[in-house]
Amino acid sequence: MSRNGRIRRASHAGSWYTDSRSTLNAQLEGWLLKATESLKPAKAIIAPHAGYSFCGACGAYAYRQVDPNQVKRIFILGPSHHVRMANCALTGTDTYETPLYNLPIDKEVCEELHSTGAFDTMSLSTDEAEHSIEMHLPYIAKVMESRRGQFTIVPVLVGSLSTHNEAKYGQILSQYLKDPDNLFVISSDFCHWGKRFGYTHYDKSRGKIWQSIENLDKMGMNIIEKMDPPAFSEYLKAFQNTICGRHPISVLLNAIDYLRSASNGIHMELRFLKYAQSSQCETSNDSSVSYASASFVMK
C-alpha cells in the first residue's frame, strides 16, 4: 500500500465548523452535556456529517454513548460525495488533522485491509475534499481526549456498493466489529428533500411535507434497528430515500448480520436516540436535510 506520509488537513474547518480550538471545544462540550446516556458503551454509532450549526446537537446523542476507556481503534465509514466508486478506499496519509489535536492512522490495520484486495487508496485531494469523514473527527477527538495518543483511526471511504459488495465488506469488517477494542462510526445524513436534491416524495396522508419526511425517515430507522440488511435494501428500492450514508449503514448491518449468524448468545441492540431536520418543509419550494443518531451495543 502506497503511503504519501502527509497529514490530511482539516480542510472544512472554518467553513463547516469553527477552526477556533477554544470555541469548538466549548461547542462540543455543550452539546454533549445536553445529550443523554441511553445505550452504552457503543460498539458502533450512526451520526450525521453536515455543518455543525445544523447537526452538531443531534450528533452529540451518538457520541454520548462512547466509553473512551473501552476504545483503542476507531473505524470511520463515510460515503463518497465527490468521486464515483464501486468499492471502498483507505487513506494514504499517516495523520488526520483537527483543530483540537491530530489523530494518527492505524497503519497496520490499513495494511491488513489493503491486503484483502478489496480496498483502493484515496488520493490526497479526494481525501481532503470529502467531508463525510472529516465532520466526525472533532467529535472523536473530544470524546477520546482522556486517551489522547492511545488510540488510532481507520478512515474508510465507501462507494456506491452493490448489495453483493455491501455483504462482502460487511464480512471483511465483521472481525473488527467483534474486537472489543474497536468502535465503528457510521457517517450518514438522512432524507435530502427538495427540488435542489431531485427528491420530492410526499405522502399527503401524513400531514405537512416535513411530517411526511419524518415518517419516511423513521420507517427506515425502524428497519435499521431490526438489523435486517435485505429489508433495508427493499425499503431503499421502494422509496428511493436520499439517505447519503445508506451504503456505510448497509455495510454495518451486514457485519452485524454476519456476526449474529456465526455467534450464539451475544446480545445485540441498535437504537436511534435523536432525530432532527435542518428546517420544516411546508411548500414544494422548500428543502431540508434530516439527521439521526443511533447507538449499537453488543454484549
User: Would you say residue 158 has pLDDT above 70?
Assistant: yes
Residue 220, in any domain of the structure:
yes
Residue 201, in any domain of the structure:
yes
Residue 1, in any domain of the structure:
no
Residue 206, in any domain of the structure:
yes
Mean pLDDT to the nearest integer, 264-270? 87
Q: How far is CA 9 from the centre of its chain?
A: 20
pLDDT in the model for residue 241 = 98
Residue range(s) defining the domain that contains residue 99: 7-298
Q: Report the DSSP beta bridge partners of residue 104.
A: 95
pLDDT in the model for residue 177 = 97
- Band (2; pLDDT cuts 50, 70, 90): very low
Residue 68, in any domain of the structure:
yes
Residue 18, in any domain of the structure:
yes
User: Would you say residue 233 has pLDDT above 80?
Assistant: yes
Mean pLDDT to the nearest integer, 196-217? 98
| C-alpha torsion angle, residues 52, 58, 63, 64 (rounded to 10) | 130
The DSSP secondary-structure symbol of 115 reads T
Q: What is the pLDDT of the chain when averaged over all its residues?
A: 96
28-70 confidence digits (pLDDT tens): 999 999 999 999 999 999 999 999 999 999 999 999 999 999 9
Residue 74, in any domain of the structure:
yes
Using a 10 angstrom Cβ sphere, with 0-12 exposed, 13-18 middle and 19 or more buried, the burial of residue 55 is buried
Query: How many domains are there within the chain?
Result: 1
User: Would you say residue 89 has pLDDT above 60?
Assistant: yes
102-142 confidence digits (pLDDT tens): 999 999 999 999 999 999 999 999 999 999 999 999 999 99
pLDDT in the model for residue 266 = 85
Q: What is the CATH number of the domain that holds 17?
A: 3.40.830.10
Residue 2, in any domain of the structure:
no
Mean pLDDT to the nearest integer, 255-284? 93
